[in-house]
Amino acid sequence: MKKLIVLFVAIAVASLSQASELWWTVSTPVTLEDTGGSPEWSTAKLYVTDTGFNYGSTVEALDSVSASDLNTYGGAFTDLGVYASSAYSFYVELLNSSSEVVGRSYVSLTPAQGAIQYGALDGHLEGGNIMNPTAAASAYSFSSFTTANVIPEPTSGLLVLLGMMALGLKRKRG
């Protein structure tokens, strides 16, 4: 009897839970707006951010899909979980076979780094619950990309070297 009650409660909770999935893809061919070229990429990663831009306070990567899978299946479904809220925005990074970022999606030209807001994804979300499901009409296609300029940061070894050089310049007073 206890197992039956636990099963009933589990079904009730599952039917009331909200599950929101984003159906997304990357347009082909990809064009980098700042170079006009088409990057060689093998993997696309979907990120969520709370700043609205594709830099800064990025929360995490939600999904990673190979270029061949995106072409084969015409898109990817990604569970948004707790990020299905107007407080978050989404963007895609393209990576080459060496896992180096070759491009980031953006929404507007000013600034050139932007992410698509959750509210603008209406029609590309699949959600609801077991009792009242909703389906995505089409995949959101990330189509505008810009090169990913990485600013190198000094390593701790370089900082130690600079500190030692500064100490070496200090004169002895006798």
Q: Which residues, other chains included, contact 61 with Cβ-Cβ below 8 Å and sequence gap of 6+?
A: 45, 46, 47
Higher-confidence position of 37 and 104: 104
Which among 105, 82, 78 is positioned nearest to 94, based on CA atoms?
A: 105
- By DSSP bridging, strand 21-32 and strand 140-146 are parallel
What is the pTM (predicted TM-score) of this model? 0.69
Domain ranges of the chain: 19-169
- Asked if residue 25 has pLDDT above 80, the reply is yes
pLDDT of residue 147: 80
Band the pLDDT of 141: cuts 50, 70, 90. confident
**Does pLDDT of 19 surpass 70?**
no
Q: Which residues contact 25 (CB under 8 A, 6 or more apart)?
A: 70, 74, 75, 76, 139, 140, 141, 142
- Nearest Cα to Cα of residue 58 among 47, 66, 67, 69: 47
Nearest to 93 by CA among 131, 67, 122: 67
